[in-house]
């Protein structure tokens, strides 16, 4: 008995040594855009989209696992590997489109910060510059270890969506059934339903996550030997993330959808109006939790996206990078990082915010870069010279290729449709 | 004599004497065992498989390669570990820029082509790591070549001369064949080597530590961030790790081994020479955060009756670190500490002067003194070294100022 307990303690210690990258990356996936999409899904279609979450979780685990395995085995970032294996020109194309799509995401995160705090009566002309400054300083002044603790805390804060879901008093039985079976009532021919399915899937796997995850695995110094444990970090993170997504959908389904539909919400561009709509239906606390959750998620993602972009681009194209370098030693790195924040936040202070254009541009770029990134990842994880014994197994490859084909198909469908 | 870039020649058509295209350039190879910079052959993809074309049969090379012989005269290409393939091993890969002391990525490779008696001599002269190589590769095949050349001429080159390039190769057998010995890297200051090593992937770090001189490796290891240090030692095989750890300052070695998993540190200790092992195990018994955990057992101590000349002789024979020689300690019977003489006083005194006359009142602490108090002593008495004495007043070791600075920075 004593021995058993000791073994468990060692296992937990081993796990705590590697926990972080996978959990954080999966959670940032529920950013301003993600929360908006899940809210829409619940408000427009009730429980009828919940069935997508289990396949989504599997896809997320499969893809994130490849990124973290590559990081642990090679000790190199994804953009380094793309450059080394696929040459300069392809790397350049991937990096340019990555910057465009990530810029769109940064704008969306600052929009989330602005609109969530506007619910509390704070002006965006104060909070957006302040948030930009906080993000810039946090990353430039912090060390990997200290930032990781802050990020893990931010990941934990997503619990507020679970509480908001509980406060919405959903029909548990209906929700549970809808999670494991696809409801027959809404047909596959319904255009708006299908495009919502695509949006939900599309928001789950973003190119930047793969770069960020692999880079943080390398930065944390996770090695091949620790890798088995590290896999649990990825799995746990993905499951938690989708549990949160489930509660967001359920909260909106049980209230907004149940009370007659989202008539005033069809023109919403972010998640804040959904929080407001929850207020009369689920009460003051649910509203506050929903709004605070949106602020947390947006700020969290806004802290990660610009720095992860700067690292990926500079490593891929061979510019000096790293927060241990001075501004004059790594000018491209710092300029890119700073401009992404300053311009991303600055867009929101313009008199007529061109959010629609930014988001269309971002989605188009995403549609271009995601197939490249996912296919490169599959080729790299199958390269024996690079991965040694840690190449994908046959069964894994079948699942992974299927996932990638579906993901790429849906992503392309999304920007062709819109 | 002219410069030609690797990216210009890759994919270039190979034309025979009558101007007919007989193949395309796929790779360019250097055989370091024959010549360190000279191009040994081109790998040409022909209608009849891949063949090697020697520069002896090349009249001109650039966007088109002109040869004087027929493909039937070219040998069949068989891949070999012993040659450096410029595209596969160099293009887009990371290298160490020894002159600039950093890790950089190669955008292009520059070769110098010299016509000699109707054929060419091609030599690798530099790697391009700047915008010029990048733009050349981006616009190749899109922008007409003469426009491109005119454009590229306006861009200031950022190249690293070949003699300052150290290649990263993780396969030890291939390192030998390619004659990669990290000679340039080893000449840098260990602190600079450490900065470079921290920028590398784990397998490449291992490659560097397997190859460079043990003494340099030991000094570099001391300069590394503790997490990286630990990872490097764990990746090395136990013999090599022991060889390097032996060369380290005993206090640094003890700190390092204390951080490793016990089985690993025991394994390394077993492989070490008895004398070094004894010193390190002795230090390992103390907590890292006390005076004893921070001290080194390599110091200079002479009998209290000694004269300046004796001290200088002791200095000559001393093998420990340079930081430790700032003070010469005087010991009485049974190794009891009785005084300390700063190096400066020895330098300016006559050879026959009695050391006991030059001695300062010494400052010392007990082995279990916490490190914060150690720092306070350095501050109060403006010390460069501090003696650590056991319960019988015997000199057990010394702490040097650089260790205190590292300790304060680590907080």
Fold observed for domain B188-285: MgtE N-terminal fold (1.25.60)
| 3-state DSSP of A78-97 | HHHHHHHHHHHHHHHHHHHH
Residue spans of the domains in chain B: they are 2-163, 188-285, 294-410
A-chain CB neighbours of B92 within 8 Å are 83-84, 87-88, 91
What share of chain B in percent tops pLDDT 90? 9
The verdict on A221 touching B (C-beta cutoff 8 Å) is yes
Confidence of residue A266 (pLDDT cuts 50, 70, 90): low
CA distance A368 to B17: 45
Q: What is the pLDDT of residue A173?
A: 80
Q: What is the pLDDT of residues A144-185, one digit of tens each?
A: 677 778 888 888 888 888 887 777 777 888 777 777 877 766
Contact check, Cβ <8 Å, B104/A76 = no
Token readout for A371 is 């197939």
Helix (H, G, I), strand (E, B) or coil at A1: coil
- State mean pLDDT over A81-96: 91
Asked if the interface predicted TM-score (ipTM) of this complex is over 0.90, the answer is: no
The verdict on A97 touching B (C-beta cutoff 8 Å) is no
Q: What is the pLDDT of residues B365-389, one digit of tens each?
A: 888 888 888 999 999 988 899 999 8
pLDDT greater than 90 at residue B170: no
Fold observed for domain B294-410: CBS-domain (3.10.580)
Q: What is the pLDDT of residue A1?
A: 46
CB neighbour burial string for B207-225, b if at least 16 within 10 angstroms, e if fewer? bbbbbbebebbbbbbbbbe
- State mean pLDDT over A351-363: 73
Q: What is the pLDDT of residues B288-303, one digit of tens each?
A: 778 887 888 888 999 9
Q: What is the pLDDT of residues B314-355, one digit of tens each?
A: 999 888 888 888 899 999 888 888 889 999 888 898 888 888
CATH assignment of the domain containing A136: 1.20.1740.10
For A286, the enclosing helix (H) or strand (E) is helix A284-317
Nearest one of B268, B231, B235 to B253, comparing CA atoms: B268
CA neighbours closer than 13 Å in the CB half-sphere of residue A373:
31
Q: How far is CA A61 from the centre of its chain?
A: 13
- State mean pLDDT over A399-406: 85
pLDDT greater than 60 at residue A197: yes
Confidence of residue A44 (pLDDT cuts 50, 70, 90): confident
Mean pLDDT of chain A: 82
Hey, which residues 322-341 in chain A have their CB within 8 Å of chain B? 322
Helix (H, G, I), strand (E, B) or coil at A313: helix
| Residue B303 β-bridge partners | B331
Burial of B18 (0-12, 13-18, 19+ CB in 10 A): exposed
Question: Which one of A84, A92, A320 has the shortest CB-CB distance to B93?
Answer: A84
CA neighbours closer than 13 Å in the CB half-sphere of residue A372:
23
∠ CA B335-B337-B338, rounded to 5°:
125
Contact check, Cβ <8 Å, B231/A320 = no
Q: What is the pLDDT of residues A182-193, one digit of tens each?
A: 776 666 667 777
Pairing of strands B13-15, B2-5: unpaired
Confidence of residue A263 (pLDDT cuts 50, 70, 90): low
CA distance B291 to B387: 9
The verdict on A220 touching B (C-beta cutoff 8 Å) is no
Q: What is the pLDDT of residues A226-260, one digit of tens each?
A: 788 888 888 988 998 888 889 888 888 877 777 77
CB neighbour burial string for A310-342, b if at least 16 within 10 angstroms, e if fewer? bbbbbbbbbbbbebeeeeeebeebbebbbebbe
Contact check, Cβ <8 Å, B201/A74 = yes
> What is the number of CB-based contacts under 8 A between chain A and chain B?
39
| 3-state DSSP of chain B | CEEEEHHHHCCCEEECCCCCEEEEEEEEEECCCCCCCEEEEEEEEECCEEEEECHHHEEEECCCEEECCCHHHCEECCCCCCCEEHHHHHCCCEEEECCCCEEEECCEEEEEEEEECCEEEEEEEEEECCHHHHHHHHHECCECHHHHHHHHHCCCCCEEEHHHEEECCCCHHHHHHCCCCCHHHHCCCHHHHHHHHHCCCHHHHHHHHHHCCHHHHHHHHHHCCHHHHHHHHHHCCHHHHHHHHHHCCHHHHHHHHHHCCHHHHHHHHHHCCHHHHHHHHHHHCCCCCEHHHHCECCCCEEECCCEHHHHHHHHHHCCCCHHHHHEEEEECHHHEEEEEEEHHHHHHCCCCCEHHHHCECCCEECCCCEHHHHHHHHHHHCCCEEEEECCCCEEEEEEEHHHHHHHHHCC
| Residue B354 β-bridge partners | B307
Gyration radius from chain B CA atoms: 30
Question: Which one of B138, B203, B227 has the shortest CB-CB distance to A89?
Answer: B138
Contact check, Cβ <8 Å, A88/B92 = yes
Q: Which has more confidence, A8 or A139?
A: A139
Per the listing, tokens 């020697």 go with B54
State the best of B92, B159, B204 to mutate against chain A, taking most chain A CBs within 10 Å.
B92
Contact check, Cβ <8 Å, A320/B102 = yes
Residue of A nearest to B106 (CA): A318
B-chain CB neighbours of A318 within 8 Å are 104-105, 107, 129, 134
Give me the number of domains chain A comprises.
1
Mean pLDDT of chain B: 86
Contact check, Cβ <8 Å, A318/B227 = no
pLDDT greater than 70 at residue B180: yes
The superfamily in CATH containing domain B2-163 is PRC-barrel domain (2.30.30.240)
**DSSP assignment letter at A393:** P
- The range of the structural domain enclosing residue A345 comes to 2-416
Assess contact for B212 and B196: CB atoms under 8 A.
no
Confidence of residue A313 (pLDDT cuts 50, 70, 90): very high
pLDDT greater than 70 at residue A4: no
Confidence of residue A10 (pLDDT cuts 50, 70, 90): low
CA distance B214 to B235: 16
A-chain CB neighbours of B129 within 8 Å are 318
A-chain CB neighbours of B199 within 8 Å are 322
- State mean pLDDT over B213-235: 87
Q: What is the pLDDT of residue A92?
A: 93
Per the listing, tokens 């005076």 go with B291
Confidence of residue B156 (pLDDT cuts 50, 70, 90): confident
- State mean pLDDT over A284-303: 84
CA-to-CA separations, B208 to A157, A208, B183, B216, in angstroms, rounded: 44, 32, 11, 11
Instruction: Give B243's contacts (C-beta < 8 A, 6+ positions apart).
Output: B214, B271
Mean pLDDT check: name the lowest of A60-69, A258-267, B106-115.
A258-267
């Amino acid at each position: 008995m004593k021995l058993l307990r000791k073994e468990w303690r060692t296992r937990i210690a081993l796990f705590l040594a590697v926990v972080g990258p996978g959990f954080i990356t999966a959670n940032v996936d529920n950013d301003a855009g993600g929360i908006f999409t899940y809210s829409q899904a619940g408000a427009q279609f009730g429980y009828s989209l919940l069935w997508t979450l289990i396949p989504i979780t599997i896809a997320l685990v499969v893809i994130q696992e490849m990124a973290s395995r590559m990081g642990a085995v090679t000790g190199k970032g994804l953009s380094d590997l793309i450059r080394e294996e696929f040459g300069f020109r392809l790397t350049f194309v991937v990096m340019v489109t990555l910057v465009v799509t990530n810029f769109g995401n940064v704008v969306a995160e600052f929009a989330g910060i602005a609109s969530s705090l506007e619910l509390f009566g704070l002006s965006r002309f104060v909070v957006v510059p302040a948030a930009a400054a906080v993000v810039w300083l946090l990353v430039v002044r912090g060390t990997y270890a200290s930032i990781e603790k802050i990020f893990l805390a931010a990941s934990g804060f997503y619990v507020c969506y679970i509480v908001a879901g509980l406060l919405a008093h959903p029909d548990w039985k209906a929700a549970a059934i809808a999670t494991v079976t696809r409801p027959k009532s809404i047909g596959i021919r319904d255009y708006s339903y299908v495009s919502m399915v695509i949006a939900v899937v599309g928001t789950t796997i973003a190119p930047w996550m793969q770069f960020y995850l692999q880079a943080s695995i390398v930065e944390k110094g996770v090695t091949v030997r620790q890798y088995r444990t590290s896999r649990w970090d990825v799995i746990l993170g993905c499951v938690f993330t989708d549990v949160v997504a489930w509660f967001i959908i359920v909260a909106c389904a049980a209230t907004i959808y149940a009370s007659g539909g989202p008539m005033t919400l069809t023109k919403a561009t972010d998640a804040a109006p959904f929080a407001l709509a929850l207020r009369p239906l689920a009460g003051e606390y649910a509203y506050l939790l929903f709004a605070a959750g949106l602020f947390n998620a947006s700020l969290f993602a806004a802290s990660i996206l610009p720095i992860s972009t700067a690292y990926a681009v500079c490593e891929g194209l061979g510019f000096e990078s790293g927060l241990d370098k001075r501004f004059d030693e790594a000018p491209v790195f710092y300029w890119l990082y700073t401009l992404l924040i300053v311009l991303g936040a600055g867009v929101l202070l313009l008199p007529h915010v061109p959010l629609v254009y930014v988001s269309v541009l971002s989605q188009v770029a995403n549609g271009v870069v995601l197939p490249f990134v996912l296919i490169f990842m599959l080729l790299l994880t199958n390269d024996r010279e690079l991965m040694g014994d840690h190449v994908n197994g046959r069964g894994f490859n079948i699942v992974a290729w299927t996932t990638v084909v579906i993901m790429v198909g849906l992503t392309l469908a999304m920007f062709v449709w819109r | 004599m002219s410069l030609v870039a690797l990216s210009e020649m890759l994919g270039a058509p190979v034309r025979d004497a009558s101007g007919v295209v007989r193949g395309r350039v796929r790779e360019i190879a250097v055989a370091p065992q024959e010549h360190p910079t000279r191009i040994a052959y081109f790998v040409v993809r022909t209608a009849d498989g891949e063949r090697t074309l020697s520069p002896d049969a090349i009249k001109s090379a650039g966007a088109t390669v002109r040869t004087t012989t027929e493909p039937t005269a070219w040998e069949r290409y068989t891949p070999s570990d012993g040659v450096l393939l410029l595209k596969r091993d160099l293009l887009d890969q990371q290298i160490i820029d020894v002159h600039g002391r950093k890790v950089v990525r190669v955008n292009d490779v520059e070769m110098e082509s010299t016509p000699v008696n109707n054929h060419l001599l091609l030599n690798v002269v530099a790697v391009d790591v700047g915008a010029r190589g990048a733009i050349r590769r981006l616009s190749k095949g899109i922008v007409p070549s003469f426009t491109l050349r005119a454009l590229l001429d306006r861009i200031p080159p950022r190249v690293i001369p070949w003699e300052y390039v150290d290649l990263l190769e993780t396969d030890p057998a291939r390192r030998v064949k390619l004659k990669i010995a990290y000679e340039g890297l080893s000449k840098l200051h260990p602190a600079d080597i450490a900065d470079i090593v921290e920028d590398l992937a784990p397998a490449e770090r291992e490659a560097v530590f397997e190859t460079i001189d043990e003494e340099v490796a030991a000094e570099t290891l001391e300069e590394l961030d503790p997490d990286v240090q630990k990872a490097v030692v764990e990746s090395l095989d136990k013999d090599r790790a022991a060889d390097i750890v032996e060369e380290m300052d005993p206090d640094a070695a003890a700190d390092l081994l204390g951080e490793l998993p016990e089985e690993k540190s025991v394994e390394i200790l077993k492989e070490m020479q008895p004398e070094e092992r004894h010193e390190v195990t002795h230090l390992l018994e103390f907590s890292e955060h006390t005076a004893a955990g921070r001290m080194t057992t390599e110091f200079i101590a002479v009998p209290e009756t000694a004269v300046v000349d004796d001290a200088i002789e002791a200095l000559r024979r001393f093998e420990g670190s340079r930081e430790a020689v700032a003070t010469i300690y005087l010991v009485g019977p049974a190794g009891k500490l009785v005084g300390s003489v700063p190096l400066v006083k020895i330098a300016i005194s006559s050879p026959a002067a009695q050391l006991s006359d030059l001695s300062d009142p010494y400052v010392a602490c007990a082995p279990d003194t916490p490190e914060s108090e150690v720092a306070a002593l350095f501050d109060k008495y403006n010390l460069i070294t501090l003696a650590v004495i056991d319960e019988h007043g015997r000199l057990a070791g010394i702490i040097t100022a650089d260790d205190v600075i590292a300790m304060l920075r680590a907080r």
